[in-house]
């Protein structure tokens, strides 16, 4: 059993992989100042006990929130006697990187690219609809050649509410129409359809720059919400966790 942990800006996802697939998933809301190792330990061990999960024999962590990583590393070491593999561009990934500023590349984007390259074996654009919406282009030869980052749906909605006097927060959902009939419908239309338009524009621009065709993979917490409004070839909500599994295997040989 592998313990796969993805620490994101909005949520922390822990998946348990039995060698064939991810069997159980624990999701926690990311807290800005983090939890203590004891709190993470209590939550994680309780989840394992309730679901009768075998003790992990290996672990890998991707994180875009550095201040939280040490607490979870400590828990994995203390509770399971494992030193987790920390994802970065410095470990084996099976990818070639043709980008600048490697240190600035998010671990989740590396994991997504690894999984996409291993699972689909063709030129790919991975779009991760999370706190930020990120685009990562992977060539047929496994080159991560670049991408784009834009504010995500939830971030856009929260920023709108926080920086205006009369616009409320909204629960993100499929808009009923483009011409909203009240303030909530107006906001949903602008955010969802507007985001879809921006995503489609970026897809077209990336196609013109790569001078070739590629398939689009959607992942992340808002992939299901956005996929009906853009051209998507695959929806894989577990792409990041699958990438962590492949990375673990590459670095365990």
How far is Cα 100 from Cα 103, in angstroms, rounded to an integer? 9
Tokens of 33: 């100042």
How far is Cα 148 from Cα 170, in angstroms, rounded to an integer? 26
Catalytic, 182? Answer: no
Q: Provide the 3-class DSSP secondary structure of residue 213.
A: coil
How far is Cα 210 from Cα 203, in angstroms, rounded to an integer? 11
Q: In whole angstroms, how far apart are CA 173 and each of 26, 95, 176, 187? A: 23, 36, 9, 11
Single out the catalytic residue among 6, 18, 79, 108.
Answer: 108
Q: In whole angstroms, how far apart are CA 99 and each of 88, 89, 132, 148, 244? A: 14, 11, 20, 12, 21
b vs e for 59-79, b when ≥16 Cβ sit within 10 Å of the residue's Cβ?
bbbbbbeeebbebbbebbeeb
Task: Tell me which H or E stretch contains 97.
Answer: strand 96-97
Q: Catalytic residues, which ones?
A: 108
């Amino acid at each position: 059993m592998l313990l796969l942990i993805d620490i994101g800006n909005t949520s922390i996802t822990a998946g348990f992989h039995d060698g064939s697939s991810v069997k159980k998933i624990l999701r926690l809301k990311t807290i800005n100042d983090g939890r203590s190792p004891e709190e993470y330990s209590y939550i994680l061990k309780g989840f394992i006990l309730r679901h009768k999960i075998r003790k992990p024999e290996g672990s890998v962590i991707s994180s875009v929130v550095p201040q939280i990583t040490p607490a979870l590393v400590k828990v994995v070491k203390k509770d399971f006697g494992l030193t987790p593999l920390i994802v970065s561009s410095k470990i084996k990934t099976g990818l070639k990187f043709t980008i600048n500023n490697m240190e600035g590349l998010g671990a989740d984007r590396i994991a997504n690219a690894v999984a996409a390259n291993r699972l689909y074996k063709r030129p790919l654009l991975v779009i991760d609809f999370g706190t930020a919406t990120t685009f990562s282009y992977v060539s047929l030869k496994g080159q991560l050649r670049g991408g784009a980052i834009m504010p995500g749906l939830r971030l856009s909605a929260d920023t709108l509410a926080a920086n205006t006097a009369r616009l409320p927060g909204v629960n993100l959902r499929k808009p009923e129409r483009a011409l909203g009939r009240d303030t909530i419908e107006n906001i949903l239309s602008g955010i969802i359809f507007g985001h879809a338009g921006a995503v489609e524009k970026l897809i077209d621009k990336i196609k013109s720059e790569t001078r070739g065709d590629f398939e689009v993979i959607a992942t992340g917490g808002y992939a299901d919400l956005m996929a009906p409004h853009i051209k998507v070839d695959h929806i894989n909500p577990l792409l990041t966790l699958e990438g962590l599994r492949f990375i673990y295997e590459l670095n365990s040989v």
